[in-house]
Amino acid sequence: MNQNYSILLELTKEQELTLAIEIATICVPSVFLLIFTLYCYLKFEHLNNAQFKLVTRILYSDLIYESIMSAISLSYIITENRSNEETSFRDSYPTFCYIQAYLSNFSILTSTAWTSIMCHTLYMQVYRNTSKMYYYQYIFVGYVIPTMISFIPFYVDGYGVTYPMESTNCFYNMRLERRSYDLYITLCYYLPIWVAFLYNLTIITLVVRRILKHITDFTNKTQVFALFLYPTILFICWVIPGLVQQLNSSQSIIWQYLSYFFCNILGLLDALCYCFTEIFTKIRINGCNLEYQEDLSESNFGTQTSQQLTQVVDSQQL
Beta-bridge partners for 286: 289
What digits encode the pLDDT tens for the residues 209-237?
A: 887 777 665 555 556 666 667 677 777 77
The topology under which CATH files domain 9-315 is: Rhopdopsin 7-helix transmembrane proteins (1.20.1070)
Short-list 258, 222, 292, CA closest to 43: 292
End-to-end CA distance of the chain: 58
pLDDT for the residue 70: 93
- Separation CA 256–CA 8 (nearest Å): 12
Write down the domain spans for the chain. 9-315
pLDDT for the residue 64: 95
From residue 120, alpha-carbon distances to 1, 102, 117, 138, 298 in Å are 44, 27, 5, 10, 23
Q: Is the sign of the CA dihedral 84, 90, 93, 97 positive or negative?
A: positive
- Separation CA 55–CA 313 (nearest Å): 22
What digits encode the pLDDT tens for the residues 30-85?
A: 999 899 888 877 777 766 666 778 888 988 999 999 999 999 999 888 887 565 54
Q: Are residues 30 and 271 in contact, defined by beta-carbon separation less than 8 angstroms?
A: yes
SS3 state at 49: coil
Backbone torsions φ then ψ of 12, nearest 5 degrees:
-75, 165
Backbone torsions φ then ψ of 292, nearest 5 degrees:
-90, 135
Angle (nearest 5°) at CA 53 between 103 and 66: 30
SS3 state at 269: helix
Q: How many of the other CB atoms lie within 10 Å of CB of 285?
A: 8
pLDDT for the residue 267: 80
Alpha helices by DSSP H, listed for the chain, are: 5-8, 13-43, 50-79, 89-92, 94-127, 135-139, 145-155, 178-185, 191-212, 218-226, 229-234, 240-247, 253-264, 266-270, 277-282, 302-315
Q: 110: pLDDT confidence band, cut at 50, 70 and 90?
A: very high
Short-list 192, 190, 230, 188, CA closest to 208: 230
The residue-averaged pLDDT of 76-101 equals 73
Look up the pTM and report it.
Answer: 0.80
Residue 134, by phi and psi: left (phi above 0), alpha (psi -120 to 50) or beta?
beta
